[in-house]
A and B are shown apart, each in its own frame.
Chain A
Amino acid sequence: MTVLGIETSCDETAAAVIDENRVLSGIISSQEIHARFGGVVPELASRAHIRLIVPIVEKTLKDADLSLDELQGFAVTCGPGLVGALLVGLNFVKGLSLATGKPFIGVNHIEGHIYGNILSQKKVEFPIVFLIVSGGHTQLVLMEDHLKYRILGKTRDDAVGEAFDKGAKLLGLGYPGGPMIDKLAKTGDPEFAAFPRAMMKDDKFDFSYSGLKTALLVYLQKMSEEEKKKHLNDICASYQKAAVEVLVKKTVRAAKKFKAQRVALAGGVAANSLLRTWLGEVCQKEGLELYLPDLKYCTDNAAMIARAGLEYLKRGRRSELTLNAYPALKLKSMDE
C-alpha cells in the first residue's frame, strides 16, 4: 500500500510517500525549500505552509515517481499543534481526497513520532514502552499492539526539549538549544554541579522539568561571568545529565513494571546522544531490547505520519470530510 503523508502541525511543511515500511520520498521545508525559494522560511506562519505545500507535494510525488492516481490513500496530522498550521495540511488533504476519491486519515502527531521509530526498524514486537520526548511533549506510553496505547505518564509542566532550549537560552547559547548543550556536554564534567532530578523517587511515571530550569537560573545568578565561561561545558554536562537521568530511570522502571521486553525512543530529543547511549547501556544490562529511531525520523517529518496512517488505512479506517484540527489532541488507541 502506498500512502502520501502530510505534516504541517508546527514549523515544518513536510510531505512523504511510503510503501508499507519503506520511504519512497520525503521533503521537509526547512531542509530543501530554503534553497529553492531563497531566504528563510518564517518560524511560524501558516502562510508559509500555504505557500509551500503545493510545490512540496509535487516534488515529493515526482521524487517517488508516482502520480496521485497510483496512491492508495492520504494521511495528515490533525493535532496537536497550531490550529492555523494544522488546517493548511488538513484542508489540502481533504481536497486531494475529494478530487481523487481516495480515502484519507487524520493522524495524531505523537502517534506519528511513534511510527517514526517503527519506520526505522526491520521488525517490531509488542508490548513496547515508548518514551516520547520533544520540544512540546514528554510522555511514557505502553504500546500494546499497533494503534493500541496506554499513557503511563507525562510532563506536569515543561517538556524536556523545552528544558534544553530554555536552559541553553539561560546559558547564552543559540537555538535550538538541545543540540548545543549535547555538543558542549561531551567535553564537560557531569558531576560539576548538582541539579535536581524531579519526581525521581515518585513511583508514578510523570515528569517535571520546570524546577530544573529554575535551578539552573538560581545557580547562574550566583556565578561570575568569568566562572560561567570557564565552566560552560561542565554546566551543560551536569544539566543534561539531570534531565536525561530521570528519563532513563523512569523508562526502564516502566518496562519492568509492565513486563515489556522492549523500550523505544521517539521525538526530537530522541536524537540526544547521552539519552541514546545511557538508555542503550541500561537496556543491555537489564536484558531489554532498545528500538532507536533513525535521526532523520526524530524531528518532525511526514514519513512518520504516512506510516501511522497506513496502519489505519490497511484496517479500512478513514476520516470523514468533517474532520477538524485539534490543537490539544491527546494520544488515543484506535476505537477509544
Chain B
Amino acid sequence: MKILHQQISRSIEDTLKFARYLVRILKPNDIVLLEGDLGSGKTLLVKQICNLLKTKDEAASPSFAIIHQYNGPTPVNHFDFYRLHDEAELDQLGWEEMLNMGAITFIEWSQLIEKHLSEYYKVEIKFQGGDRIFVLKKYP
C-alpha cells in the first residue's frame, strides 16, 4: 500500500480541490473505495467528481438502490453496500461485471468486497476537530 496524497478539508471548496486531484489521476476501469463514517461526505465527493467528469446524470446517494450508474464521456459506477450484511447478498447484484466496462467505480461501505479486489484506490475520510482529512491510498 502506498499513500499518494493527503489533504485537510475545512469547506466544500477544499473537498472540490481533492475531487479535482482525483479526476486528474483516475482512468476508466479504476476502482476507488470510500471509507468514512455516516455524514463524512463520501457521496458529496462522488457528486463533485461526477460534475467534473460532466456525467449526464447527477450523482445521488445509492444507499437504497445499492448500484447507480451515471452516463457521460467518462461513465461512473457508484455502489453503496451500506444495506448489505452478508457476502451471499453480493452475488445477485452483477457488480463484478460492471467493473471493467470503461467506467470509474466508486464503492461506499466496501468492507464485504475489499478482499476480492486486487488493484484499487482507497479514500479515507476522517474527522479531526471540525476538519476532515482526506487520505488517498493505492493498493497493493
State in angstroms the CA–CA spacing of A165 and B93 once bound together. Answer: 22
Q: In chain A, what residue has the closest Cβ to B67? A: A327
Please judge, given known A-B contacts A42-B86, A156-B58, A214-B41, whether A162 and B64 are in contact too, CB under 8 Å.
Answer: yes
Cβ-based interface call for B60 (8 A): yes
* Nearest CB of B to A52, in Å: 14
* Nearest CB of A to B89, in Å: 5
Please judge, given known A-B contacts A82-B66, A156-B58, A158-B61, whether A47 and B39 are in contact too, CB under 8 Å.
Answer: no
Interface residues of B in 33-90 (CB under 8 A from A): 37-41, 43-44, 47, 57-58, 60-61, 63-69, 83-86, 88-89
A134: chain B residues within 8 A (beta carbon): 64
Point out the residue from A155, A161, A327 that lies within 8 Å of B60, measured CB to CB. Answer: A155
* Nearest CB of B to A114, in Å: 18
Cβ-based interface call for A166 (8 A): yes
Point out the residue from A10, A43, A85, A157 that lies within 8 Å of B85, measured CB to CB. Answer: A43
Cβ-based interface call for B140 (8 A): no
A contact residues, range = 35 or more
Q: Judge whether B69 and A328 touch: CB under 8 Å.
A: yes
Could you tell me how many residues of chain B have their Cβ less than 8 Å away from some Cβ of chain A? 30
State in angstroms the CA–CA spacing of A214 and B130 once bound together. Answer: 12
Q: In chain A, what residue has the closest Cβ to B58? A: A156
Q: In chain B, what residue has the closest Cβ to A170? A: B38
State in angstroms the CA–CA spacing of A157 and B62 once bound together. Answer: 9
Point out the residue from B39, B57, B64, B67 that lies within 8 Å of A217, measured CB to CB. Answer: B39
State in angstroms the CA–CA spacing of A328 and B77 once bound together. Answer: 12
A81: chain B residues within 8 A (beta carbon): 65
* Nearest CB of B to A243, in Å: 14
State in angstroms the CA–CA spacing of A109 and B40 once bound together. Answer: 31
Cβ-based interface call for A84 (8 A): yes
Interface residues of A in 1-34 (CB under 8 A from B): 10
Q: In chain B, what residue has the closest Cβ to A80? A: B65
* Nearest CB of B to A168, in Å: 11
Q: Judge whether A83 and B89 touch: CB under 8 Å.
A: no
Question: How many A-B contacts are there with CB distance less than 8 Å?
Answer: 85
Grouping DSSP codes into helix (H, G, I), strand (E, B) and loop, the B interface class, with mixed when no group exceeds half, is loop
State in angstroms the CA–CA spacing of A159 and B83 once bound together. Answer: 15
Q: In chain B, what residue has the closest Cβ to A81? A: B65
B94: chain A residues within 8 A (beta carbon): 83-84
Interface residues of A in 160-199 (CB under 8 A from B): 161-162, 165-166, 169-170
Q: In chain A, what residue has the closest Cβ to B68? A: A328
B130: chain A residues within 8 A (beta carbon): 218
A162: chain B residues within 8 A (beta carbon): 61, 63-64
Interface residues of B in 89-113 (CB under 8 A from A): 89, 92-94
Q: Judge whether A216 and B39 touch: CB under 8 Å.
A: yes
Q: Judge whether B60 and A156 touch: CB under 8 Å.
A: yes
Cβ-based interface call for A280 (8 A): no
Cβ-based interface call for A46 (8 A): yes
Q: Judge whether B63 and A158 touch: CB under 8 Å.
A: yes
State in angstroms the CA–CA spacing of A161 and B83 once bound together. Answer: 14
Q: In chain B, what residue has the closest Cβ to A46? A: B92
Interface residues of A in 214-263 (CB under 8 A from B): 214, 216-218, 221
Point out the residue from B40, B61, B66, B92 that lies within 8 Å of A157, measured CB to CB. Answer: B61
Q: Judge whether B68 and A157 touch: CB under 8 Å.
A: no
Cβ-based interface call for B127 (8 A): yes
Please judge, given known A-B contacts A44-B84, A84-B93, whether A213 and B39 are in contact too, CB under 8 Å.
Answer: yes
State in angstroms the CA–CA spacing of A46 and B66 once bound together. Answer: 14
A80: chain B residues within 8 A (beta carbon): 65
B60: chain A residues within 8 A (beta carbon): 155-158
Q: In chain B, what residue has the closest Cβ to A10? A: B64
4 extra interface residue pairs, beta carbon distance < 8 Å, beyond A81-B65, A83-B94, A214-B39: A46-B92, A85-B92, A165-B63, A328-B57
Closest 6 CB pairs of A and B: A136-B64, A217-B39, A214-B39, A84-B92, A158-B61, A46-B92
Q: List 6 A-B contacts (CB under 8 A).
A: A46-B92, A84-B93, A136-B65, A166-B38, A218-B130, A327-B67
